[in-house]
A = this chain, B = another copy of it.
Amino acid sequence: MARQPTSGERPTVKDVAASSGVSATTVSRVLAGNYPVSTATRARVMKAVRELDYVINAQARALGGGGTKTVAFIVHDLVGPAFAYVGQGVEQEATAEGRLCLVCTTHGDPERELELIELMREQQAEAVVLVGGGSNSSSYIERMTQAARGLDKSGSRLVLCGRPPLGPDVPATVVEYDNEGGAYAITSYLISLGHRDIVFLGAGRPGHSTVDGRLRGFERAHKAHHLPVPQQQTRAITFDRESGYQATHDLLAHGHKFTAIFAATDVVASGVLVALREAGLRVPEDVSVVGYDDIPLARDLTPQLTTVHVDHEDLGRTAVRYALNRDRHAMNQHTVIGTHVVIRDSAGPPPKPRRGGR
């Protein structure tokens, strides 16, 4: 009898072939189902497959036949709620398209990001989805452009998810959401409620594309309503609860005058709420607070947070869909996903002025 697979070792097509008395080719065809094979033969092969507990070797298949069915997902970290949802979307769509999903985290390190892209090129990932705002510096953009070209040459596709395009000649797919629009809308909402002294909490990290967009929307809303753009908080904010807390605390301590706070993210807003509460200020009676992202947390806060809804999961799904089904010659694609205000309980009219004046 031909090649009895050593027990404890992984059987190969050859083992299956030998065990069912056909050639390796035939086994391959039965498994792929892309070539006529007689019913009897197919049955014999399948029987052997079952008996030997054979499973194909994905690496070998990738080498020989089509490529690897893999999508890579590169992100700051997995635990940020917004990122997690994007990840969910990416995984979802990748699975729906029959792809596997590789995930890596950068912890905000641009070097690491580029390293990972290189790694994904080795892995022959079909698409590399980069999530989260990146730097706006020109050297960074230059390097990223190189990376995009490299991936393109390897038959892969770079997808920028939630950050602006690199340039017209760069082979990359861009899917971002309307940061500016959402910020414009929610700022307008605050203005329409009567607020005139709104603090934008989150500036101070210029060059960060996501916040830049939100800030632009904030400013544009003021201009549209013919209001002076409030002097922003330029404190460096790290976009976590603590920095929101700290910034609010400082604001209060310095006797700043304001009736509303626009936190750059919901997480920051959560810190803001705590600081306000500690200071004995009621929300929204004394101060209105709004956030951005509409992560689940927004509904768990007290009061529930009025914020800008972003469908992060859709963002991830769209990114993968576009990357995989793109028109072969589309150099760059660009899609913007809408955002909208969701009104809850944390924003209301400003308090009646104590001593007149707006």
Contact = CB atoms under 8 A, between A and B. Distances in A.
Interface stretch (A58-66, A137-145, A181-189): A58-66
A25 B73 CA distance: 33
Given A10-B155, A57-B122, A154-B10, A300 B63 contact: no
A56 interface: yes
Interface stretch (A76-84, A247-255, A343-351): A76-84
Given A10-B153, A101-B102, A105-B88, A60 B58 contact: no
Contacts of A105: 88, 91-92, 95
Interface of A: 8-10, 53, 55-60, 62-63, 68, 73, 77-79, 81, 84-85, 87-88, 91-92, 95, 100-105, 118-119, 121-124, 150, 153-155, 241, 270, 277, 296-297, 299-302
B88 A78 contact: yes
25 contacts: A10-B154, A10-B155, A55-B118, A55-B121, A57-B63, A57-B122, A58-B123, A59-B59, A59-B63, A73-B103, A78-B87, A78-B88, A78-B91, A79-B84, A88-B105, A91-B105, A100-B102, A100-B104, A101-B103, A101-B104, A102-B102, A241-B299, A270-B300, A297-B300, A300-B301
A291 to B, nearest CB: 12
Given A88-B77, A270-B300, A57 B103 contact: no
